[in-house]
Structure 1
Amino acid sequence: MKKPVAAAVVHLDGKILITRRAPGQNLEGLWEFPGGKLEHEESALECITRELREELGVESVAGEILTSTTYAYPGGEIELIAISVELQSTHFTLQVHDRFEWVLPQELLQYNLAPADIPIAQEIIRKYG
């Protein structure tokens, strides 16, 4: 069964937020759109605001679902749901990441993105790049 996972697509001044998984984390060293797994009976929009609070220490407002993609990792298949998000703050407290970057859409694929995040980056480039 596919695990639903929410991913935040955050725009600021024409750039998109990506975060890098810290050493010791699953997918360490890979860049991703921040987010995480939906909990029981949680919507994707509820999940992304909770995950951004937990992972980055910021409040946010979830907007529309931009796209979703399915990817099979060795540990199982996920459905990655990309959600447009507006942050209330950009003062991050990183929990599972060691870096963050604000990147122009057309530069996203220059980063070593997690495999499931690549189709979302391509969609962002198609839409905004």
Structure 2
Amino acid sequence: MAAHIDVAAAIIRREDAIFVARRGPNQKMAGLWEFPGGKIETGETPQCCVVRELMEELSMTTAAGAIIATNTHRYEELSVNLIAVEVQMLKDQFTLTVHDRADWVPLNRLLELDLAPADIPIAEQVIAVSEQRGA
């Protein structure tokens, strides 16, 4: 049986765009885009995790809100439960350390990116929720 981990992912919005980052060359799944975040530690909430991970990986000051989507994806060696958390940037600045690029991508272009497999259903859910809110 494959190992299982819970991972928190940040959904950071700016108008009609979402913040995404591309995994750096020394990372697993290098070159794939993702919603930044990381592994939830024992006893940690998804919200606390995503704030910690964004500070560690991007030196980003944030506040976490509600869980807005989840997706369990099975890779060959690992099952990942990805928990998407709404996040607000408190300062509009970040520093790349484990990622080699980051960008604000319009919602209608999000699925054009080469997203990590676990992130694709999250992107679809974020787009669907945004479309419902706009209707």
Relative to the length of structure 2, the TM-score reads 0.92
Amino acid at match of 1:24: N
Alignment correspondent of 1:13: 15
Name the structure 1 match of 2:105.
103
Partners of 1:57 and 1:80 lie apart in 2 by 22
Residue number in structure 2 paired with 1:80: 82
User: Does the CA contact (< 8 Å) of 2:69 and 2:126 recur in 1?
Assistant: no
Q: CA deviation at 1:73?
A: 1.3
Partner of residue 60, structure 1: 62
Distance 1:3 1:90 in 2: 30
Q: Which runs of 5+ in 2 are unaligned?
A: none
Structure 1 gap ranges (5+): none
Report the Cα distance in structure 1 between the residues aligned to 2:69 and 2:89, rounded to whole angstroms. Answer: 19
Q: Do the aligned residues in 1 keep the contact of 2:9 with 2:35 (CA within 8 Å)? A: yes
Identity %: 44
Indicate the structure (1 or 2) with the bigger Cα radius of gyration.
Answer: 2
| AA in 2 matched with 1:112 | D
Structure 1: 4+ residue segments shifted above 3 A: none
The one of 29, 52, 57 aligned to 1:27: 29
Q: Give the SS at the match of 2:12.
A: strand
Deviation of 1:88 (Å): 0.9
User: Which of 118, 121, 131 is the matching residue for 1:116?
Assistant: 118
Distance 1:75 1:41 in 2: 24
**Aligned CA-pair RMSD:** 1.0
Corresponding letter in the other structure for 1:41: G
> What is the number of residues matched between the two proteins?
129
CA–CA distance in 2 between the matches of 1:37 and 1:90?
24
Distance in 2 of aligned mates of 1:90 and 1:117: 23
